[in-house]
Amino acid sequence: MTKRALLLALPLLASLGGCISFGGKPPKSLLTLTPTATLPVGESQRSNVAATITVAVPSLPQELASSRVPVHSGGTAIAFVKDAQWVERPSQLLQRLLGDTITANTGRLVLSSRQSMTDPGAYLMGELRRFGVEEETRAAVVTYDAALIRGPESVVEKRRFEARVPVTTIEAGPVGIALNQAANQVATQVAEWVGK
């Protein structure tokens, strides 16, 4: 390319800068889950005193594999809530919420997968089946299929947990609040089950 052609191309390239976008406009804020069960700060736990449990990151269907919030409408149609985006994948948010709630409500010591190598204790795994909104019922729905191994024996207990919270309007703010409430309800139910 000659020097003259380069000089003629520069204004054209500069004008295209405002037209090219490498990704959508980011939302004003990101959604997260906040536990209603609080953990005391500075309190130490020991595995030789408290029962241990490992909480695995739940598996999830493809519709929940992104950070967007799905809206189910008409049975098979799925859309997404405008401007609603999670700070990280819902499975990771739920794992953390389950861990905090189980510790706060049962006194169990929740271990990471790496920490569980030395003292596996109980093992909680599962699948996050629903984590979004139903348009027809105007409800935020969280459905978690849990599987629990309580100790050294290989007996697996399975149970489905679900919570529904009404949503006033299908917008990022109200949906985020309702899903947080529903997720906390599910986490509390799971903690009661694990604590038996």
Q: Is 36 domain-assigned?
A: no
Q: Is 9 domain-assigned?
A: no
Express each pLDDT in 42-96 by its tens digit. 666 655 557 888 999 999 999 899 899 999 987 788 899 998 999 999 999 999 9
Q: Is 1 domain-assigned?
A: no
Which domain, by its residues, includes 122?
Answer: 46-194
Cα–Cα nearest to 174, from 133, 130, 122, 124: 133
pLDDT value, residue 19: 43
C-beta separation of 179 from 140 below 8 A = yes
Rounded to the nearest 10 degrees, the angle between the axes of helix 172-194 and helix 90-106 is 50
Taking residues 116-137, report their average pLDDT: 87
The CATH number of whichever domain residue 61 belongs to comes to 3.40.50.10610
Q: Is 26 domain-assigned?
A: no
Express each pLDDT in 41-55 by its tens digit. 766 665 555 788 899
At 101 the three-state DSSP class reads helix
How many independent structural domains does the chain possess?
1
